[in-house]
């Protein structure tokens, strides 16, 4: 696969699809001023080149019963490769963990966890997280209100023509 630079049309496709992945190819082509066939070819290229990883449907967490959002700072007893790998493998197997980041600073990991209620969170901490080998310290902060949430990447910061 060629490693071509993206042009303005490619950037527009990415911008439109990340805001609405449900756009039909015909509508997307109309939005960017191409006919459907070349538009689809560009989308397929962007998929194959890895710019588009996958398509998802975003659900309303409250409506599906996930009312508690918690940010958890985890500090490990030792920051050695084997402990890091065990922790990461353990976290990857938990559906409550929406995001997990290896961090710099005071904690080693930051997790964002979504659960239905406080009891489910207690179960997550007591019966899972505190039992993961190598976990030394756990600090949690509950989200009271979501002020901003977006999934669309800020493409305008990398390409001012978008």
- CATH number of the domain where residue 29 is located: 1.10.10.10
Please count the CA atoms within 13 angstroms of the CA of 27 that sit on its side-chain side.
Answer: 7
Task: List, for residues 105-145, the tens digit of each pLDDT value.
Answer: 999 999 999 999 999 999 999 999 999 999 999 999 999 99
The answer to whether residue 127 is domain-embedded is: yes
The whole-angstrom distance between residue 117's C-alpha and the CA centroid of its chain comes to: 22
C-alpha torsion angle, residues 148, 149, 152, 158 (rounded to 10): 40
Confidence band for 3, pLDDT divided at 50, 70 and 90: low
The answer to whether residue 30 is domain-embedded is: yes
Q: Give the total number of structural domains in the chain.
A: 2
Confidence band for 1, pLDDT divided at 50, 70 and 90: very low
Domain ranges, residue 46: 8-57
- Rounded to whole angstroms, the Cα distance separating 26 from 21 reads 13
The answer to whether residue 153 is domain-embedded is: no
List CB contacts of 20: < 8 A, sequence separation 6 or more: none
- Rounded to whole angstroms, the Cα distance separating 40 from 55 reads 15
Q: Are residues 87 and 130 in the same domain?
A: yes
Whether 2 shows a pLDDT value over 80: the answer reads: no
The answer to whether residue 62 is domain-embedded is: no
The answer to whether residue 157 is domain-embedded is: no
Q: Are residues 51 and 76 in the same domain?
A: no
Q: Are residues 78 and 51 in the same domain?
A: no
Q: Are residues 93 and 128 in the same domain?
A: yes
The answer to whether residue 33 is domain-embedded is: yes
The answer to whether residue 152 is domain-embedded is: no
């Amino acid at each position: 696969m060629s490693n071509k630079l993206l042009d303005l049309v490619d950037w527009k496709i990415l911008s439109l699809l990340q805001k609405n992945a449900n756009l039909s190819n015909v509508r997307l082509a109309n939005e960017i001023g191409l006919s459907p066939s070349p538009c689809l070819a560009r989308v397929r290229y962007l998929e194959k080149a890895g710019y588009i990883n996958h398509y998802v449907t975003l659900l309303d967490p409250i409506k599906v019963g996930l009312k508690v959002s918690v940010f958890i700072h985890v500090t490990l007893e030792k920051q050695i490769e084997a402990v890091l790998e065990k922790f990461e493998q353990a976290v990857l197997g938990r559906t409550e963990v929406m995001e997990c980041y290896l961090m710099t600073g005071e904690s080693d990991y930051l997790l964002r966890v979504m659960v239905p209620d406080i009891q489910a969170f207690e179960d997550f901490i007591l019966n899972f997280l505190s039992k993961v080998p190598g976990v030394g310290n756990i600090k949690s902060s509950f989200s009271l209100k979501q002020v901003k949430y977006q999934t669309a990447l800020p493409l305008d910061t990398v390409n001012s023509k978008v």
